[in-house]
């Protein structure tokens, strides 16, 4: 299935997930947000908020075809 991933601020990696536009990734059915963090080698300890389709979710959330996942880093005041 296909999902789109965006990363903001210090989490952005141009070839993996960028803040300018979502990067599409193929993942198997049953993939969780935590699986995406591992697959993309994102620093889990630096992720403060995760959104799926503009709603805040936990890392155990199971993704569905067409979901858009966004990662926001730990920042001052958050």
- For the stretch 19-55, pLDDT in tens is 888 899 999 999 999 999 999 999 999 999 999 999 9
Q: Is residue 24 part of a domain?
A: yes
Range of the domain at 65: 2-73
Does the pLDDT of residue 71 top 90, yes or no?
yes
Question: What number of helices (H) and strands (E) belong to the chain?
Answer: 1, 5
Q: Is residue 78 part of a domain?
A: no
Model pTM? Answer: 0.90
Please give the tally of structural domains in the chain: 1
Q: Is residue 10 part of a domain?
A: yes
Count of all residues that appear for the chain in the document: 78
Enumerate residues 6+ apart whose C-beta is below 8 A from 77. none
Show the tokens assigned to 56.
């805040």
The CATH number covering residue 50 comes to 3.10.20.30
Enumerate residues 6+ apart whose C-beta is below 8 A from 72. 8, 9, 11, 47, 48, 49, 50, 51, 78
């Amino acid at each position: 299935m296909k999902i789109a991933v965006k990363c903001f601020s210090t989490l952005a990696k141009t070839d993996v997930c960028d803040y300018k536009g979502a990067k599409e990734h193929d993942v198997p059915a049953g993939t969780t947000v935590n699986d995406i963090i591992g697959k993309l080698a994102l620093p889990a300890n630096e992720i403060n908020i995760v959104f799926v389709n503009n709603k805040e979710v936990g890392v155990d959330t199971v993704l569905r075809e067409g979901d858009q996942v966004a990662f926001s880093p730990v920042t001052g005041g958050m």
